Amino acid sequence: MRVLLLARYGRLGATSRQRHLIFLPALARAGISVTVDALLDDDYVRALHSGAPARPGPILAAYAARLRRILSAGEWDAVWVEKEIFPWLPATAERWLARRGVPLVVDYDDAWFHRYDRHPRPLVRRLLGGKIDRVMRAAATVVAGNGYIAGHALGAGAQRVETVPTVVDTDAIVDTPPEPGRPFTIGWIGTPANARYLDPIRPVLARLCRDTGARMLVVGGGPDALAGDGGTALPGEIRPWDEAREAADLAGMDVGLMPLPDTPFERGKCGYKLIQYMAAGRPAVASPVGVNGTVVADGRTGFLAARPQEWADALAALARDPALCRRMGRAGRERAVIHYSLAAWAPHVARILREAKERP
């Protein structure tokens, strides 16, 4: 079977890497050859994370190259799409391919429809508010990262919906015991744009660090991730994300965080960082928003915390009890291997692609 993957980014894009590229070796072993077309290159992602303005020239060239690619899409048995073919344009390409009989498998790990239907500009809402619904209807299969996205796809009239969580390679991320004698380390991993999610719990973190000597380890959060006002600056270290040392950075944490506001877009998130923490044998503390409440087994692999005092109590309990950390970490590792590992889900992804080809 030959599949064309229309990814948004290369390996520097977390969604492209974990929702698609991670599966390619397993798919090849299953007889599925995947040709990757990344719309935007790693230089674009680096500039995006640094806050540099996007340059229109390379973006226009990328759109032109993708247009040439989809004009030959009939050569493939299926087209695997990350979210949409052309961001910020109508769903014309998806509908054109569907009319030509090209099976589309469209994947979402975020509530991408809210990017358009809840956009602050009325013109965007009017022109593109229903775009993702039209993409979902054009697809042979919509792959949703969680139930919130799956429910929207069904309501939009998608022909078929499959739920596949974001996975990690639990052979590459292993459970390493914490280094003896180091301060209790509270970790967070993500992108500079998402480090803002730490702001509501910053006072809790600052107080815990002052009272216990704990420190922070922020991976991929940007240079200001530990800054704060009025005594909320956090002690610790910021490291740029690096795929080669991701496992070592996770091992440098004692607990991982995933605070989120309870808003429509955040309800569509897939809890990827929680799965990373668990794969590394670390307990997680997370807001009970969206899929977080099912990824974290509250009281067994970590804690769910909605109010500041709940965050304070959960982190204090873990900081004063290394045995609790290890017990929860081991339970989280087991849960990650069974429910969120590459080995567990690669056969399902291969099946989804094959069935899309075989369905009329």
Q: Which region, left, alpha or beta, applies to residue 115 given φ > 0 means left and ψ of -120 to 50 means alpha?
A: alpha
Q: Given 3.30.70.260, 3.40.50.300, 3.30.70.1050, 3.40.50.2000, which CATH number is that of 185-339?
A: 3.40.50.2000
Question: How far is 234 from 203, CA to CA, in rounded Å?
Answer: 9
pLDDT at residue number 87: 97
pLDDT at residue number 230: 72
Q: Is residue 35 within 8 Å of residue 3, measured between CB atoms?
A: yes
- 2-167+342-358 and 185-339 have identical folds: yes
| Separation in Å, CA 270 to CA 147, 161, 185, 260 | 10, 16, 24, 12
Q: What is the four-CA torsion angle of 258, 259, 262, 266, rounded to 10 degrees? A: -40
| Separation in Å, CA 314 to CA 226, 309, 310, 324 | 21, 9, 6, 11
Question: How far is 346 from 360, CA to CA, in rounded Å?
Answer: 24
Mean pLDDT by 10 residues, the chain (360 residues): 96 94 97 96 87 86 95 92 97 96 96 96 96 98 97 97 97 90 95 93 95 96 85 91 94 97 94 97 97 96 97 97 96 97 98 89
pLDDT at residue number 342: 97
User: Where are the chain's structural domains?
Assistant: 2-167+342-358, 185-339
0.85 exceeded by pTM: yes
pLDDT at residue number 96: 96
pLDDT at residue number 360: 59
Please list, residue by residue across 56-78, b when 16 or more beta carbons sit within 10 angstroms of its beta carbon and e when fewer do: eeeeeebbeebeebbeebeebbb
pLDDT at residue number 324: 97
Q: What number does CATH give the domain 2-167+342-358?
A: 3.40.50.2000
DSSP letters for 199-239: GGGHHHHHHHHHHH--EEEEES--TTTT--STT----EEEE
Exposed, middle or buried by CB within 10 Å (0-12, 13-18, 19+), for 39? buried
